[in-house]
Amino acid sequence: MTGVLDGLRVVELGQVLAGPFAGAIFADLGAEVIKVEKPDGGDDARQMGPAFRHGDALNFHEFNRGKRSVALDLKSPEGVAALHVLLEDADIMLHNLRPGVAETLGIGPDEVTARHPRLIYCAMAAFGHVGPERLRPGYEPLLQAFGGLSSITGEPGGPPVRMGASVVDQGTGMWTVLGALAMLERRHRTGRGGVVNTSLLETALLWAGQKISGYVNTGKVGERHASGHPNLVPYQAFDAADGPVLVCCGNDRLFSRFAAELGHPEWVSDPRFITNRARLSNQGELLPMIAAVMNAVPRGEWLDRLQRIGVPCAPVNAIPEVLAEPQVQAMEMVQPVPGEDFSLVAMPLSFDGERPRMRAGAPRLGADNAALVGAKGD
């Protein structure tokens, strides 16, 4: 399959996650992605974890597959000059350098776009490109905490919890790609590039948007609901005899079917439970009764019975169980990496029915210096 972004050149000055993830999206979609790394050790992610393949950590392979690597000393005039050579034919440059570093090196947005007016310059910050904290560095858990995500995650009455996935870092990479492609469309019309700014904080605020909007407009601070929902009951996980099952009764019709299947059709006519708003007010009485019935039957039986009557439900799977699901296998989200002996998770989208295939593994540090910049990378 020819990549949908075939012919696009992206220069990535990425470290660890947000920047490299944006580059990985571009690479999987067919763009040529040139990863510029420092000569001494390269991207810090190469060492973030035990050596997996070729001396690099597994996370480095995850977020850098399909790229080319050039090692440049951007603290030297020669390194910066070599970078500009790469940018002459580039469509997009992206970086998540520590705030202020690009400007110190002379490769900030003003300098670069003045020299390369068709270039789309994407800068990812921790706390944003304006404001009193704009020069403050940050990492995933810090921005989950600062941006409110940790405060809305976890058990009611429990401590704030970090979300298990790097939703802020990876979300920032996604928004960067979206912004770059939007700017690329503008360039098709105007012939000029521009600057795209994203940040971990903005991403965290967006993911917390419903809770933020709720507080702004009602003055109420959202509560934690574990696997539950603030506005729907029952809409959460219940322990079956051998494992948890998530049940989602998104309206009164579904609740009626659910109650009947549980052997309690009388719940539907009970004034305490007759509507979702009534169930919200009386969930302290209803939920323990549901839990007692669910706990007496194995999970597989509940899944069969509830799916048969059209009540949305799912097992709460551990990762090995996820991978064993026939639906997950049918989607072919886990793909072998060409030229390697391991597999990685692919991009969650398809074009004309076909998922983009990874083109290659992660590059060795500086593997493409000779081909792309020659002695200028030394």
Catalytic positions: 229
Q: What are the tokens at 283?
A: 């969930």
Report angle CA 47, 48, 49 to the nearest 5 degrees. Answer: 100
User: What are the residues whose beta carbons fall under 8 Å from the beta carbon of 167, sequence distance 6 or more?
Assistant: 144, 149, 203, 207
| Of 303, 281, 294, the residue nearest 233 (C-alpha) | 281
Cα–Cα distance for residue pair 176/179, rounded to 1 Å: 5
Residue linked to tokens 């601070």: 221
Residue 375: what residue type?
A: A
176 and 94 in contact (C-beta within 8 Å)? yes
Residue 34: strand, helix, or coil: strand
Residue 356: count other Cβ atoms within 10 Å of its Cβ.
Answer: 21
Cα–Cα distance for residue pair 108/36, rounded to 1 Å: 15
197 and 108 in contact (C-beta within 8 Å)? no
| DSSP one-letter code for 271 | T
Q: What are the tokens at 214?
A: 């709720």
Give the CA diameter of the chain.
80
Cα–Cα distance for residue pair 12/120, rounded to 1 Å: 12
Residue 319 class from Cβ within 10 Å (0-12 exposed, 13-18 middle, 19+ buried)? Answer: exposed
Residue 195: what residue type?
A: V
Q: Distance from CA of residue 96 to its chain's centroid?
A: 15
Residue 101: strand, helix, or coil: helix
Residue 194: strand, helix, or coil: strand
Residue 100: what residue type?
A: G
